[in-house]
């Protein structure tokens, strides 16, 4: 495989900021590896392998990049390829004492965090999952425990519109629940009485809505406070902590040492970065601005953890990125034109500005088969239909390992698995483990 014109241009941009939009199948990994190779082996020998830092979001992506780099790049073992969390953990083990972190900390994986909350704080599995997700999302957006706590206090203060005795607001809420049920049982009465009943129902419902919102936040605050205390006692850090404390170190002591160590920064999966991670990127490269970010603005798997579009705009502003620094990898080595056009028409709906949606075409201009849409009545019928289609392909001589079924939720996957089992079709499932793997 050789570089196509757009890939080649992006590879040869080795000074200053470089923004690469790379959709699935456009040779993203190949381009990244070729760029790292060119950074080291170009005629000016501008960068040493140990001066290059590659950051990515998932462990899978980091491992894949490391493997590919080792095949093509001289002294590949000296190039640092890490997930954000892994790199931040290294910083804290190296520098943590300066900000009060014991470098011997253990790391809580996302699923471990839920189990930890469930077992250590006696929280039900459902709420343990909800609290873990809420705390991680807040921290990824740079929202601190103190900010959530203060917001919760304001929610409680708002309840004084309904009751002056906030110390006993729980008892007041119970009485309002009882009164609301009683009002539903009262006879209709006169027109004025009915009007007053409706007014009172509305007032109670408004209070209960505000109260339940306050209660949800207060429960989160209580769990978060206990979680912080327990982590400190057991010397534990979750993924969001790693990012936050690494950023805290940079803000307190500066990042010149790391910019001097890593003279070129390359960030993969930029669409999945959050607010805190963007600040880390900035601290690691703002001094030299020798940075390449690679992302796909048409997809953001973990977009709920932060705001990718906001990060993209910030990147362009902070690093003064212009058209000469931006490259669209718009040739697919994987999908046919018919698949790509169909996908493009669907993805267009995600964009306020259609111009932002990059259209991709097949590198060899292969049209391919017509995309078929089959509608079924329910998920069980859908699963049976999928199993039938796969069975027909197997009868044609297609190898099982060449067939892939994608499903949107794990629940759908379970139903599809049953349909395959009923036909004795062996399958291998992937992606049901840790979210970040």
Please state the pTM of the whole predicted model: 0.83
Q: pLDDT at position 371, please?
A: 94
Q: Please determine, for residue 335, whether its predicted confidence score (pLDDT) is greater than 80.
A: yes
Q: pLDDT at position 411, please?
A: 84
Q: pLDDT at position 307, please?
A: 53
Instruction: Specify the long-range contacts of residues 386-395, CB closer than 8 Å, at least 24 apart.
Output: 386/416, 386/419, 387/416, 387/419, 387/420, 387/422, 387/423, 387/425, 390/420, 390/425, 391/423, 391/425, 394/425
Residue 435: pLDDT band (50, 70, 90) is very low
How far is the C-alpha of 179 from the C-alpha of 267, rounded, in Å? Answer: 58
Q: pLDDT at position 300, please?
A: 61
Q: pLDDT at position 252, please?
A: 97
The better pLDDT of the pair 198, 416 is held by 416
Mean pLDDT of the residues in the chain: 91
Q: Please determine, for residue 345, whether its predicted confidence score (pLDDT) is greater than 60.
A: yes
Coil, helix or strand at residue 43: coil
Q: pLDDT at position 308, please?
A: 60
Please state the rounded mean pLDDT for residues 404-431: 90
Please give the sequence-ordered ranges of beta strands (E in DSSP) within 47-206, or none if there are none.
Answer: 52-56, 80-83, 106-108
The partner residues of 332 in beta bridges, in order of sequence, read 362
How far is the C-alpha of 380 from the C-alpha of 374, rounded, in Å? Answer: 14
Share of the chain above pLDDT 90, in %: 72
Q: Please determine, for residue 395, whether its predicted confidence score (pLDDT) is greater than 90.
A: yes
What residue ranges define each of the domains in the chain, with the CATH number in brackets?
A: 5-91+242-329 (3.40.50.300), 106-234 (no CATH), 334-372 (no CATH), 374-437 (3.40.50.300)
Q: Please determine, for residue 437, whether its predicted confidence score (pLDDT) is greater than 60.
A: no
Residue 434: pLDDT band (50, 70, 90) is very low
Within a 10 A sphere around the Cβ of 217, how many other Cβ atoms? 19
Q: pLDDT of 36-85, one tens digit each?
A: 999 999 877 789 999 999 999 889 999 999 999 999 998 999 999 999 99
Burial (CB < 10 A; 0-12, 13-18, 19+), residue 119, is: exposed
Q: pLDDT of 194-253, one tens digit each?
A: 888 888 888 899 999 999 999 999 999 999 999 999 999 999 999 999 999 999 999 999
How far is the C-alpha of 342 from the C-alpha of 327, rounded, in Å? Answer: 23
Q: pLDDT of 3-26, one tens digit each?
A: 999 999 999 999 999 999 998 899
Please state the rounded mean pLDDT for residues 170-198: 81
How far is the C-alpha of 137 from the C-alpha of 236, rounded, in Å? Answer: 18
Q: What is the DSSP string of 161-177?
A: GT-S-GGGHHHHHHHHH
Q: pLDDT of 257-306, one tens digit each?
A: 999 999 999 999 998 899 999 999 999 999 999 999 998 876 665 554 44
Buried-exposed string 10-45: b where 16+ CB fall within 10 A, e elsewhere: bbebbebbbbbbbbebbbbbbbbbbbbbbbbeeeee
Q: Do 73 and 49 touch, CB atoms closer than 8 A?
A: yes
């Amino acid at each position: 495989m050789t570089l196509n014109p757009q890939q080649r241009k992006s590879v040869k941009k080795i000074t200053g900021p470089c923004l690469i939009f790379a959709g699935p199948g456009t040779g993203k990994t190949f381009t990244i590896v070729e760029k790292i190779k060119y950074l080291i082996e170009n005629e000016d020998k501008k960068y040493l392998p140990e001066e290059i830092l590659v950051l990515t979001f998932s462990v899978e992506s980091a491992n894949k990049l490391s493997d590919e780099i080792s095949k093509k790049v001289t002294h590949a073992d000296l190039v640092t390829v890490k997930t954000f969390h892994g790199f931040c953990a290294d910083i804290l083990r190296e520098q943590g004492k300066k900000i009060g972190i014991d470098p011997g900390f253990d790391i809580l994986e996302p699923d471990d965090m839920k189990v930890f909350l469930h077992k250590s704080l006696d929280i039900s599995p459902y709420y343990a999952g909800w609290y873990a997700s809420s705390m991680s999302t807040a921290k990824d957006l740079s929202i601190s425990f103190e900010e959530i706590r203060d917001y919760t206090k304001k929610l409680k203060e708002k309840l004084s519109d309904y009751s002056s005795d906030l110390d006993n607001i729980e008892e007041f809420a119970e009485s309002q629940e009882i009164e609301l049920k009683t009002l539903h049982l009262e006879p209709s009465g006169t027109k004025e009485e009915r009007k007053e009943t409706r007014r009172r129902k509305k007032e109670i419902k408004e209070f209960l809505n505000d109260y339940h919102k306050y209660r949800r936040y207060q429960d989160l605050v209580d769990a978060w406070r206990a979680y912080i205390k327990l982590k400190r006692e057991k010397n534990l850090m979750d993924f969001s902590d790693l990012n936050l404390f690494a950023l805290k170190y940079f803000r307190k002591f500066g990042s010149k040492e790391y910019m001097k160590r890593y003279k070129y920064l390359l960030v993969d999966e930029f669409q999945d970065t959050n607010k805190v991670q963007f600040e880390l990127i900035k601290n690691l490269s703002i001094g030299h601005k020798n940075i390449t970010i690679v992302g796909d603005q048409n997809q953001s798997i973990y977009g709920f953890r932060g705001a990718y579009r906001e990060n993209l705009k910030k990147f362009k502003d902070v690093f003064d990125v212009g058209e000469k620094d931006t490259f669209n990898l718009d040739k697919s080595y994987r999908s046919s034109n018919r698949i790509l056009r169909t996908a493009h028409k669907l993805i267009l709906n995600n964009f306020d500005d259609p111009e932002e949606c990059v259209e991709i075409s097949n590198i060899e201009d292969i049209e391919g088969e017509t995309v078929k849409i089959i509608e079924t009545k329910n998920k069980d019928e859908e699963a049976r239909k999928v199993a039938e289609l796969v069975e027909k392909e197997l009868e044609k001589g297609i190898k099982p390992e060449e067939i892939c079924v994608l499903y949107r939720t794990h629940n759908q996957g379970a139903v599809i698995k049953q349909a395959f089992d009923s036909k004795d079709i062996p399958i291998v499932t992937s992606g049901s483990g840790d979210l970040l793997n």
